[in-house]
Amino acid sequence: MTAPAQVAVRMTGISKSFGGIRALDAVDFEVHAGEVHALLGGNGAGKSTILKVLNGVHVPDEGKIEVEGQALTSHSPEASRAAGIAMNFQEMSLIPTLSVAQNIFLTREARDTRGMIDDADSVRRAQAIFDMLQVEVDPTALVGDLGAGQKQLTEIAKAISQEARVLILDEPSTALSVSDVERLFVFLRQLKAKGVAIIYVSHRMDEIARIADRATILRDGRHVITAPMSDLPIDVMIEHIVGKKSKGLADVARGDAARGEVLLELSGVTGPHKPEDVSFILHRGEVLGLAGLLGSGRSALARVIAGIEPSVAGEIRIKREKVSIRRPSDAIAHGIALVPEARATQGIIPAHSVADNMVMSVIDRIAPRGLVDRARIRAIAEDMIARLSIKTASRDHAVSTLSGGNQQKVVIGKWLATEPEILILDEPTAGIDIGSKAEIIRLVRDLAQSGKGVIVISSELSELLTACDRILVMADGRAHQMLDRGDLDDPSESDPENSLQAAERRLQIEIQKALSIKEASHG
């Protein structure tokens, strides 16, 4: 162990509000040189906000930032970079048509004597970085030809080549295979030995337990705890992350499932990339949750069922009959609707009116003889606006003028207009306010009650627990375990809020368990 650790980053009393919502409330955050520091917290805890403050993307309302003892006087990405802070981006910042070396030294290329870019020098220096880190990446390969793991390593090499003293890694392992994660860890340990401070954000606690030295946990924009990993076994981490919810969904009544006939049955369904060999049954009148981390194959499974990425193996049966779903229109014809995860691109056409968006999936039904029945468009739009209490100036206003929650309701309305029997909602509450969230969860329950089969995907476990009757835990594209919602409750707990938190902790533990099973089976 090294003697008194040198402080690489010290953030004190950082506060940041967005339109009245306090994303960060007087947060202190300190990272030492030569450590891997995990930053943990649930969705909306403030992790990405504090990283963006450190990275110079957001200007803090209050608080001070020191990097290696020097106070940051201005807040901009340039100032942060000059101070030695580098961040990888989940959406990769590499240019696919350039080589690895060209990407690493982009805009900082060495010049030869004639003032021309010296590519050979870039290749040499890139090779030196990879050698130093003992990983194999070909500096002359085109980035577009690399796998996700090698891209991630290139991204990190780019950060290192800028002599970064503080490296921020936001969910670096999401796209990586097990062996790539191992390589990344080798890499990070080398960097650590060189005195670089590494801030590591991940939802995978097994990974954090292996790579991090210390961890800081945020919840609802506040600092909860900073402690060495030895003081933070997984169940303690989960307890701190879940905490006591200030306002929750506990008030949404979870009705009893009147489970009807089998609606949808998957056996051994495999998609083009993910999922792998998934089987389950969905009944009429029930809500089935899909739990798992990013990249666990939940959304891919939804896309397979909805015909967007048709299955390559396995069988899908609807009401006991085998069906072939090769394209989205097949799924719609079979009564399947998917409310997709990326609302703005997959769900709506923002510039088009509420009414036009509402009928997008039923154009052939409202235009039986070629010409659309405008009275029916009005009827459908007005019906959905009333039924889902969508707040819009009129049905002719562009969807882009609506709030996020109301946009999501338009997407849901559009799919209800297809009169589906099976409704899949992928992260239906992402990026919308708590009031609309509760409304949407209630709607999900109502839909099940009215005899539909509903599948919900959500990263917010409290939501899944409130909405669902059964929960399928997924990891690495596979289905691991089907949990009955009732079994997650603690019968001795009478306070619904405490009970929800207890269930959330259990579900967290199951999700993390599923991950470790994956690692064990891959050796």
Kindly determine how many residues on this chain lie close enough to bind other proteins according to the rule CB under 8 A.
35
Q: What is the DSSP letter of 367?
A: -
Q: What is the DSSP letter of 292?
A: -
Kindly indicate which of the ranges 79-87, 145-153, 221-229, 348-356 contains the residues binding other proteins, using the contact rule CB under 8 A: 348-356
Kindly indicate which of the ranges 64-72, 109-117, 134-142, 334-342 contains the residues binding other proteins, using the contact rule CB under 8 A: 334-342
3-state secondary structure of 114: coil
Structure tokens at 415: 């799919």
Residue 386 makes contact with other proteins by CB under 8 A: no
205 vs 318 by CB, closer to other proteins: 318
Sheet holding 287-291, edge to edge: 336-339, 422-426, 453-457, 287-291, 470-475, 478-484
Q: What are the backbone dihedrals phi and psi of residue 161, each rounded to the nearest 5 degrees, phi first?
A: -65, -20
**Contact (Cβ atoms closer than 8 angstroms) between residue 504 and residue 243:** no
371 vs 520 by CB, closer to other proteins: 371
Least separation in angstroms between CB 84 and other proteins: 35
Task: Give the H/E segment covering residue 242.
Answer: helix 234-242
Which one of 82, 323, 372, 430 is in contact with other proteins (CB under 8 A)? 372
Residue 345 makes contact with other proteins by CB under 8 A: yes
The Cα 355–Cα 399 span in angstroms is 9
Least separation in angstroms between CB 149 and other proteins: 27
The Cα 14–Cα 60 span in angstroms is 6
CA torsion, points 361, 364, 367, 371, in degrees to nearest 10?
100
Judged by CB under 8 A, the chain residues 159 through 188 that form the site for other proteins are none
The 411-430 site mask, x for binding other proteins (CB under 8 A), equals ---x----------------
Residue 366 makes contact with other proteins by CB under 8 A: yes
Q: What are the backbone dihedrals phi and psi of residue 421, each rounded to the nearest 5 degrees, phi first?
A: -100, -30
Kindly indicate which of the ranges 55-63, 163-171, 228-236, 363-371 contains the residues binding other proteins, using the contact rule CB under 8 A: 363-371
Kindly indicate which of the ranges 97-105, 154-162, 283-291, 344-352 contains the residues binding other proteins, using the contact rule CB under 8 A: 344-352
Task: Give the H/E segment covering residue 455.
Answer: strand 453-457
Which one of 350, 449, 481, 519 is in contact with other proteins (CB under 8 A)? 350
Least separation in angstroms between CB 292 and other proteins: 22
The Cα 468–Cα 298 span in angstroms is 15
Least separation in angstroms between CB 391 and other proteins: 16
The amino acid sitting at 511 is I
Residue 352 makes contact with other proteins by CB under 8 A: yes
Residue 356 makes contact with other proteins by CB under 8 A: yes
The 268-307 site mask, x for binding other proteins (CB under 8 A), equals --------------------------------------x-
Q: Give the strand pairing for 7-18 and 62-67.
A: antiparallel
Residue 396 makes contact with other proteins by CB under 8 A: yes
Least separation in angstroms between CB 150 and other proteins: 26
Least separation in angstroms between CB 473 and other proteins: 26
CA-atom Rg of the chain in angstroms: 25
Which one of 83, 252, 348, 432 is in contact with other proteins (CB under 8 A)? 348
Least separation in angstroms between CB 426 and other proteins: 11
The Cα 71–Cα 415 span in angstroms is 52
The 304-333 site mask, x for binding other proteins (CB under 8 A), equals --x-x------------------xxx-xx-
Per-residue three-class SS string for 27-47 = EEEEEECCCEEEEECCCCCCH
Residue 382 makes contact with other proteins by CB under 8 A: yes
Least separation in angstroms between CB 38 and other proteins: 35
DSSP letters along 58-83, please?
Answer: S--SEEEEEETTEEP-S-SHHHHHHT
Residue 502 makes contact with other proteins by CB under 8 A: no
Least separation in angstroms between CB 272 and other proteins: 16
DSSP letters along 158-198, please?
Answer: HHHHTT-SEEEEESTTTT--HHHHHHHHHHHHHHHHTT-EE
DSSP letters along 341-355, please?
Answer: S-IIIII--TTSBHH
Task: Give the H/E segment covering residue 127.
Answer: helix 119-132
303 vs 505 by CB, closer to other proteins: 303
Contacts with other proteins, residue ranges (CB under 8 A): 306, 308, 327-329, 331-332, 338, 340, 342, 345-352, 356, 359-361, 363-364, 366-367, 370-372, 374, 378, 382, 394, 396, 414
